[in-house]
Chains A and B, each alone.
Chain A
Amino acid sequence: MKLSTQYFGEIHQFKSLKEVLAKANEEKSGDRLAGIAADSVQERIAAKAVLSELTLADIRNYPLLSPEEDEVSRIIDGLINGTIYQTVKNWSVAELREYILSDETTGEDLKRISRGLNSEMIAAAAKLMSNLDLVHAANKIEVLTKNNSTIGYKGTLASRLQPNHPTDNVDGMLASLKEGLSYGIGDALIGINPVDDSVESVKRLLHATQDVIQKWNIPTQNCVLAHVATQIKAVQQGAPADMIFQSIAGTEAANRSFGINVRLLEEANEVAKSYGTGTGPQHLYFETGQGSELSAEAHFGIDQVTLEARNYGFARYFDPYIVNTVVGFIGPEYLYNSKQVIRAGLEDHFMGKMHGLPMGVDICYTNHMKADQNDIEDLGVLLTAAGVNFIIATPMGDDCMLNYQSLSYHDIATLRQTMDKRPAPLYEAWLEKMGILENGKLTKHAGDPTIFNH
């Protein structure tokens, strides 16, 4: 494995694959925090140059975290299709990038080749790609999943309606929910983050959301995003959940800090299939985000882009209905400003899609970051162009429970109308029946939550 390169007469020498992968990243405060970022811009490009010449076999043969010591590595390595791997193992990372971008290569080709790649290889390709590379490549890949209704079709943009309330007040939650429905939001999911992570609270919110879905015959699905163990209990006690949610991470140790492991997630999947109200075949929902492993002090000196890719390698083992990165929620110590958030959003979406996952994004920022609403609207446009499966939306972009800003209900409607996207098919039919949408445009009744007042 060649770990050095020469440019303008200067020799850049790296010690390990781990170092090359870290230094090849675009600038991120999280890699600085971990003490693994490139020291200069030239060193960053040198690392990219070294990485471009390594082979996929090099990456597999020198694991950053071996399958023997880490459950996530075991899952990822165990999923590699040996036949497909044999056909690509001698490719350089540059060749992988160019294959992904080639006009000859279709989305189906990418989904096929993905089965012979591990997460580190996909991360490596992303590190050589520009923002527009990431948009263009991801847009090739169509991933369809179904719980009660199918999302992910080309030409559609779905959304998660997130009607959170600071005290889990059911009437308050329903008020935000109705406002969202009136803007055509919620085809991917109606999903609530509870303040109170108790079984009783989760059951209450599951019943309230499922009642609305039943009453108005909405072709969608519900979920309450408590800890997986709490949801398992609520569902076993008869609460109507279409799917079960959990935040995941890219190392076994980080997952342990979330109180989860493979067995628990398998159990969640079984419980959702046996007791949940969703039709399936997909029954799980995962959230990820660059920096969570470092935040849990379980990153093993691996950079946050590579670790994020490992989230997706782990996630695909469970065949989830939806996955989204919460890009920008974690704070300025991992993604300092809008430039870093935009880059991370495009990387995560591409890497998720390259793993064959139904990727969505919570495009967001906190108030201690150097970013504002204009920046995330930009990322919304970029991700819509990249064919993102779904985007999270809140009333006026302000989540009054989690205390951060995401995109607004308005923004989903605007992205659809500006960029010629439709809601998921069944949901669009429902919106037309309700008189909210006509020929892909909001009607005069749209944006009025009181149309659900009877």
Chain B
Amino acid sequence: MGMNDPYNKEELDALKANTPARIGVGRAGTRPKTDSWLKFRFDHAAAVDAVYGEVSEILLKRLNLFKVKTRAGDKEVYLRRPDYGRKLSDEAKRMIEAKCIKNPTVQIIISDGLSAKAIEDNVEDVYLSFKQSLAGAKLDTGTPFYIEKGRVAVMDDIGEILRPKVIVLLIGERPGLVSAESLSAYICYKPCLGTIEAERMVISNIHKGGIPPVEAGAHLGTVIQKILKYQASGMSLVKKENEEEMSAESV
């Protein structure tokens, strides 16, 4: 597939080995080769289909997660109304209130977001290595749970109820062509209603072709320790780090 007659075939293979990007695909005039074009269309078709998947009960059971819902009813509503995906349903609020430990240091939550496949393929490895990393640092965690059809800012609603120091939300990214199963971890120090986006941090591209899930879990542990040390996340964290550097320099 791809180019017929590269100037340096070995070099082309080496370049292609370094990236999942569609390079060395060749051309017919200025247009793509037919096989490259059809592969692209095939992958797009798979990504569109991934948006409409669901996370299995088996996985939730294995990770011991109970399930709550947001205000988004079906998928079409979820796609058009992100505001519904940012708000917990009344029933969800009651369940979280009843089942969860309050004021933990770290609260882990999981949501399908725009790719159930991201959760199915990656969340177990990220979750377990992250828990291990937190245990190693002697940090306590709250009661984890799963949120169906959630958006990133749903963590603000949860922050209001549980008052953790840090929330980590593992959520499916909108699928791409190379990976329909990419996961993101959004992290925020004391999220609450009115938290601005710049206060959140994200580690994205967690999947087997991006940041390996186990590695991401361990890295998350390190990030959490930094957030707790500075009692801030996102731009506030950068600001506090800068201030510290400045005062170190002036000494």
Contacts and interface: CB of A to CB of B under 8 A. Distances in A.
Interface of A: 29, 32-33, 163-167, 169, 171-176, 178-179, 195, 227, 229-230, 233, 256-259, 295-296, 331-333, 336, 366-368, 372-373, 394-405, 408, 410, 413-414, 417, 442, 445-451, 453
B25 interface: yes
A413 B30 CA distance: 6
Interface stretch (B9-17, B62-70, B141-149): B9-17
Contacts of B11: 450, 453
B107 interface: no
Contacts of B81: 33, 333
A161 B114 CA distance: 28
A162 B131 CA distance: 36
A257 B234 CA distance: 11
Interface string B85-116: 00000000000000000000000000000100
A394 B40 CA distance: 13
Interface stretch (B120-128, B160-168, B205-213): B205-213
B197 interface: yes
Contacts of A442: 27, 30
Contact of A450 (B12, B25, B79): B12
A368 B44 contact: no
B244 to A, nearest CB: 14
B18 A372 contact: no
B19 A176 contact: yes
A233 B238 CA distance: 11
A166 B209 contact: yes
Interface of B: 3, 6-9, 11-12, 15-16, 18-27, 29-32, 36, 40-41, 43-44, 47-48, 50-51, 79-83, 114, 173-180, 182, 196-198, 204-205, 209-211, 234-235, 238, 242
Contact of A175 (B18, B177, B180): B18
Contact of A367 (B7, B15, B23, B176): B176
B34 to A, nearest CB: 13
A450 B6 contact: yes
A70 to B, nearest CB: 16
A410 B205 contact: no
Contacts of B51: 367-368
Contact of A396 (B7, B36, B82, B197): B36
Nearest to A394: B21
Given A258-B197, A403-B174, A450-B8, A33 B182 contact: no
B6 A398 contact: no
B74 to A, nearest CB: 14
A175 B19 contact: yes
22 contacts: A33-B82, A166-B179, A166-B205, A169-B19, A174-B18, A175-B15, A178-B15, A195-B205, A195-B210, A259-B196, A259-B198, A331-B82, A367-B50, A367-B51, A398-B21, A398-B43, A403-B174, A403-B179, A413-B30, A414-B30, A446-B27, A450-B6
